[in-house]
Amino acid sequence: MKFGNRASEELEGMQLAPLIDIVFLTLVFFMTTTVFTSMESELDIQLPTASQSEMDERSQGEIYINLTSDGKIIVNDRELTLEQLQGVLDRVAELFPGGSVIIRGDRNAVLGRAIAILDCCKNADIDNVSFAALQEEPVGAS
């Protein structure tokens, strides 16, 4: 005669609740990162080309400043004045020391506005500043 608990003899099932949590968290992560990358590329800015251009990984505290051909400064879909931009850069420098700035300037943008943006970066003690450019197509390629 066998004495024992029938519940212990039943096979344990796989717990689905933690698996579903992980799937939803992963989904939320990818949805939010896609939104941030699409916001920066939706602006109608025609980047200049360069013979030496490479794509870098995004880092924490990195901020994209878009400069349109008519001189507007746009950060995260908001048009900013130079004073507002200075405030944003001061805050970024405070929260993320060593953060970087990437200026996406239209190929027809006025150089004076780009210099003003560089001046704001210097005033905020942000030294890691770069300009976005597209890879130049080889001659004869169509």
Task: State both tokens at 120.
Answer: 């704001």
Q: Does the residue 109 lie in any domain? A: yes
Q: Does the residue 56 lie in any domain? A: yes
pLDDT tens, 53-96?
555 555 666 888 999 888 899 988 899 999 999 999 999 889 88
Both 71 and 101 in a single domain? yes
Task: State both tokens at 108.
Answer: 């027809």
Q: Does the residue 25 lie in any domain? A: yes
Both 111 and 57 in a single domain? yes
pTM of the model: 0.59
Q: Are 104 and 64 in contact (CB under 8 A)?
A: yes
Both 29 and 49 in a single domain? no
C-alpha to C-alpha distance for 140 and 7, rounded to whole angstroms = 75
Both 85 and 52 in a single domain? yes
Both 19 and 56 in a single domain? no
- In the prediction, which pLDDT does 95 show? 87
